[in-house]
Structure 1
Amino acid sequence: MVAQVSIVDSARAEWRAIAICLFITVAAFQFGYDSSYYSGILVMDPFIKAYGHYDPEVNAYAMSSRIQSITTSIINVGEFIGAASSFAIDDKIGRRGGMFVSSVFVVIGVIFQVSANNLGLLIAGRLVLGYAVGLISCLVPLYVADCSPARFRGALVSIYQFDVGLGLLLGIIVDNATKGRSDSGAYRIPMTVQLIFPMILVPGLILFAPESPRWLLSKGKVEEARNALQRLHGPRPDFIESQIQDIMQLIDKDRVSKGSWKDMFYWNTDGRKAYLGMALQGEEAVKLTRIINIFWLIGFNIAWQQASGINFITSYGILFFKAIGITNSFLIQMGLYLAPMPAIWINQYCIERFGRRSMLLLSTISVAVVLLVVGSAGSATNKTVAMIALDKMIVGMVYIFMVVFNLALGPAVWVVTSEISTGPNRSKLMAMSSGTSWVCSWLVTFTFPYLFNADAASLQAKVGFIYGSLMISAAIWIFFFLPETAGRTLEEIHIMFQHGVAAREFKSES
């Protein structure tokens, strides 16, 4: 009987790989920061004056739902393009090389936005920056999943979401520091701060972060892969050679049937993975092709993580709180990003201890309940003393939303998506999953002003009914269709998909 190595001993043995993976997730700061800081500048007077219009009725400058929608959501278009094209960049220059490319686009996007003196250049800058974030959203989870030890993979990929949360917090802190300025520095300083992230990431990529060994081996670069594994795991020749053999065996099998986009549009091994990834972001391969393909298309159109409406909080949180009469909305938003931090740390333990499926079910059901409560509170119409209490309750529910969302739905989706994206179509699968997520993210960000604002549908907090209903559907989908990938190597997961193992049998299959 093989003695179980303690988690502490495992961490000591794998400290190099863990440290490198932790560093690479710094790229996720960019993702969180942009969503957060832009939410804040939308209510800054200098920004509204620069890009809004003068409203003689209120004798002040205002910003229409149309401008809010376009300038906020256009970044999601760039993110979709970045995610969709990430497979080509990954195939050509690797995960690490793609991160260099994303850093260049961050710099270009920031320069465009800071120097913008018209709406067109601002939109162009956000589009370019979105392209960089789209690359990051695919390449960082792939790199971490490739390079992390199997025992710590879930926790390390979850750190991606934690760093997104830190980016959200940093964005609102910078906004709060500049909101009192009466010049364009109020919004241009928060824009410029984004240059910090590539300035940190690029030196680390050059100095100590190797290319993914799996990618190197897939390109026949065995000696470079051996060096990369040594940098990740230290001088352990026997372990490194066994890793190379395991990875090469799977690569050799994959080369027999070269991966293609066509594979992902049939209910086969990769088609099933593509569906699962896109639905998050089939059941068994029975010959019910017509029915299953219909359900596959439903999955294509729904990324459950975004269906929670998370983007209405990260992209419009300050506007939301201000509209329901909450003062100190910047401080409220700052607390909102601090509140879920413990939940992300809890998630890193729980998704390994209790599994991805269980935690995602708990998270989606909790989010659904919270959103339905928000919708009910928003249905009250009389502006009375009771209404003030309802507004406070809505704020409290939004705080709880952020906690239960980050308990699993935020971080665990990236974990599962990176784990099921295996085999010859690995980068394509990740690109499709992340691309679908960004399409749904755009849909939420673009439509929210029209659903929420008084000059459109004026639903305000009643939007909770929409997102809450979607979360009920998400819980049902997870229960029936999501396989359990905890504790499996990427090679094992790929083999189980090849053998058509049913979702509910992934955990017990030996």
Structure 2
Amino acid sequence: MVSLRQAAIYGMVFTSATLIGYDSGYLNGVLGSPDFIRRYGVTDREDGTMYLAPRTKSLFTSLLVIGTLIGSMLAMFKSDRIGRKGSFFLAAILYAIGASLQTAAPPPGVFILGRIFTGLALGLISIVSPSYLVESSTGTSRGRLVALYSQPLTGGNVIACGISLGTKHLAGANSWRITIAFQLILVLAVFLGALFAPESPVLLLQRTNPSAARHSLSILRNLPASSAAIDQALQEIQTSISERDSLGHPHLAEIFHGTDLRRTLLGTAMGFMTIATGITFWFGYGTTFFKAAGVQNAYLVSLILALVNAIFTGRSVDACLLWGGGIMGITQIVVAVIHTVSPDTAADHNSLIVCTVVFIAAYAATWGTVGWVTMTEPYSTRLRIHQTTITMVVYWLSTWAVGFVTPYIVDATAADLGVYISYVWFGMVVLSLAWAYVFVPELSGLSTPEIDLLFEDQVPAWKSVAWKRSLGSISIDGQELQKPVTEGSVSRGSIEKGKVDV
């Protein structure tokens, strides 16, 4: 049974993930608020209407990434020093400052500063939160908890779109301030959860503090500190640390050598490709884009997209990038062609809504799910934190690039591409599909040693499915063990299926 303290701890981790998802959706609705446009917009010289200039939307959206990059690097180099617990406290404080600055409706420069503070917190959270989840869970619960972690990521976006829809008719600044200020409630939950959370037992053992590590595990596992299960868990962690330390302290340069180079390039390229498909555009600018395209109830459409994203995320552990990408590409070319043939018609608007919903569903079930796995799963145990950090840096830079450039491409006051941007997303999806076929190997169902072996054998991505089948399996006393992959290799013949103890 889960104790109240355990519930608070895991609530802190999942609320941190909710903050990441909330951030991807709340500014979408805020930018569409008439009061927000009145405060930060400019006047059209021809008809006297107010609008947000592309430069304003670009800066408000994209400069968050300055903070996320600094926060990610801070997590890599300083999280061991200040601890996972300290990192959560720091992230909560930084996020609260950022949300407060934005809620206060200050001059544009201060609003941007608030976004940067928020980014600092998100950078910390995106590295520390999943690491703490893995380090504090058991072998049997780890996979389930990591799988659940993706749900609050999408759920946060749903909450943001729902609040934006509910507040859009409020008078004055409440139509957007409430959406921003709601983050303070989530931040408070993270801060309070950190009060109850013990330090990571892995980090405590690294600091040669076994008594504190034992106490931490006792809280996290809800077991007596003197139990045999705690003794075994401590021994497993200590063995893992000893094996890693025997190779010396890992250095950042190692991720660019040997088989780790391919792993690093795979994860970082996936970080770029997941954004290049256009997903950030639909969640970052969807509301204002749909309004400009003449779609009624733009806020409701954005909420529907967020719900579809949440529902379809993680629906299949065997999701195929190629099938999903194919559907995504078809939806974008259909939207672009119909708009070209019949612009500003009911068919044009309806196809935009329907195809975008299908696009989001296909993305969530395939690229959204497999993408995050590919950005974390291929890495070696020794260099995982370094490779994950570099991957997240690329991911956030890609997010910044799309967020910065899009307003200048789409807005009527700039390049005025409008719905024709679907041609761009179609081209990027095709590029992503070609890359996935050539470079993304099949990793689902493989244990960590098997993943290591796949990269050591330099198996091409398009041959990885056949290679996976060649592993085969035999059953001994009800336990499934791997057959030798090739003759004359002891290590290959002794690879375990999953984590079976022999």
The alpha carbon displacement at 1:106 in A equals 0.5
Equivalent position to 1:231, from 188, 205, 219? 219
Q: Is 1:307 the equivalent of 2:268?
A: no
Is the Cα contact below 8 Å between 1:175 and 1:190 reproduced in 2? yes
Alignment partner, residue 252 of structure 1: 242
Measure the CA separation in 1 of the matches of 2:136 and 2:334: 42
* Distance change (3 Å), C-alpha of 1:230 and 1:373: farther
Are the counterparts in 1 of residues 98 and 116 from structure 2 also a CA contact under 8 Å?
Answer: yes
Q: CA deviation at 1:80?
A: 2.3
User: Deviation of residue 18 (structure 1)?
Assistant: 9.3
Cα distance per residue 1:130-172 (max 9 Å; x no partner): 1111222222222223334455545533433321222112112
TM score, norm. by length of structure 1: 0.82
Structure 2's unaligned 5+ residue stretches are 472-484, 486-494, 496-502
Change (3 A) 1:323 1:362: same
Which of structures 1 and 2 has the larger relative contact order (alpha carbons within 8 angstroms, sep 6+)? 1
Q: C-alpha distance in 2, partners of 1:261/1:40?
A: 39
How far off is 1:15 after superposition? 12
- Indicate which of 185, 192, 217 corresponds to 2:205: 217
- Quote how far apart the aligned CAs of 1:336 are: 1.7
Flag the 1:320–1:97 CA change in 2: closer, same or farther, 3 A: same
Alpha-carbon distance between aligned partners in 2 of 1:258 and 1:498, rounded to the nearest angstrom: 22
Q: Distance in 1 between matches of 2:370 and 2:199?
A: 24
TM-score (norm 2): 0.83
Cα distance change of structure 1 residues 108 and 362 upon mapping to structure 2, 3 Å threshold: same
In the TM superposition, residue 105 of structure 1 has moved relative to its aligned partner by: 0.7
1:474 equivalent in alignment to 2:432: yes
Within the candidate set 361, 364, 375, 2:336 is matched to 375
* Alignment check: 8 A CA contact 2:11 2:193 kept: no
Contact 1:145 1:418 (C-alpha < 8 Å) held by counterparts: no
CA 20–486 in structure 1, closer or farther in 2 if over 3 Å, else same: farther
Q: 2:254 touches 2:260 (CA, 8 Å); kept in 1?
A: yes
Partner residue in 2 for 1:274: 264
Closer/same/farther in 2, CA of residues 168 and 26 from structure 1, 3 Å limit? same
CA offsets, 1:228-286, max 9 Å, x none?
333333438444444434443333232223211111233x24333322221221xxxxx
Query: Deviations for 1:360-413, whole angstroms, at most 9, x for unmatched residues?
Result: 443333323322323333333554xxx311210111111111111111322333
Cα RMSD (Å):
2.9
Distance 2:369 2:455 in 1: 26
Number of aligned residues: 464
- 2:368 aligns with one of 410, 419, 423: 410
Moved more, 372-381 or 70-79: 372-381
Give, in whole Å, the separation in 1 of the partners of 2:18 and 2:168.
21
Distance 1:382 1:337, change over 3 A: closer
The answer to whether the aligner puts 1:391 opposite 2:349 as a matched pair is: yes
Distance in 1, Cα, partners of 2:174 & 2:24: 19
In 2: Cα distance, 1:94 partner to 1:419 partner = 23
State the distance in 2 between where 1:16 and 1:412 align. Answer: 32
Deviation at 1:123, TM superposition (A): 0.7
Asked if 1:334 is matched to 2:303, the reply is yes
Select the residue among 230, 233, 254 that pairs with 1:263: 254
Q: Which runs of 5+ in 1 are unaligned?
A: 1-11, 282-302
CA-to-aligned-CA distance 1:1-50 (integer Å, 9 cap, x gap): xxxxxxxxxxx899998995465121122122223221112121211111
Say whether the 8 Å CA contact 1:40–1:175 is kept in structure 2: yes
Cα distance in 1 between the residues matched to 2:450 and 2:85 = 24
Please say if 1:429 is aligned against 2:390: no
**Are 1:444 and 2:402 an aligned pair?**
yes
Residue identity in the other structure for 1:112: L
| AA of the residue aligned to 1:304 | M
User: Offset of 1:107 from its aligned partner?
Assistant: 0.7
Q: Answer whether contact 2:41 2:53 (CA < 8 A) is retained.
A: yes
CA–CA distance in structure 2, aligned partners of residues 15 and 362 of structure 1: 43
Match of 2:166 in 1: 177
Distance 1:418 1:92 in 2: 23
Percent identity (aligned): 27
In 2, the alpha carbon distance for the partners of 1:198 and 1:169 equals 17
Task: Describe the shift of the 1:308–1:90 C-alpha distance in structure 2 as closer, same or farther (beyond 3 A).
Answer: same
1:44-193 pair list within 5 angstroms:
44-150=33-139, 153-193=142-182
Superimposed CA distance per residue, residues 451-490 of structure 1 (whole angstroms, 9 cap, x where no aligned partner): 2112222222222222233223333333443344445666
User: Amino acid of the residue matched to residue 233 of structure 1?
Assistant: R
Q: Which amino acid aligns with 1:93?
A: I
Match of 1:297 in 2: none
**Structure 1 85/419 Cα, relative in aligned 2: closer, same or farther at 3 Å?**
same
CA gap of 1:202–1:501, structure 2 versus 1, over 3 A, is farther
- Give 1:419's aligned amino acid: E
> Match of 1:194, SS?
helix
Residue 186 of structure 2 aligns with an amino acid whose one-letter code is F
| Structure 2 Cα separation of the partners of residues 364 and 16 of structure 1 | 42
Question: Is the contact made by 2:328 and 2:429 (CA closer than 8 Å) also made in structure 1?
Answer: yes
- Report the AA paired with residue 362 of structure 2: V
Secondary structure of the residue that 2:388 maps to in structure 1? helix
Cα contact 1:90–1:427 (8 A) shared by 2: no
Q: What is the deviation of 1:501? A: 6.1
Structure number with larger C-alpha Rg: 2
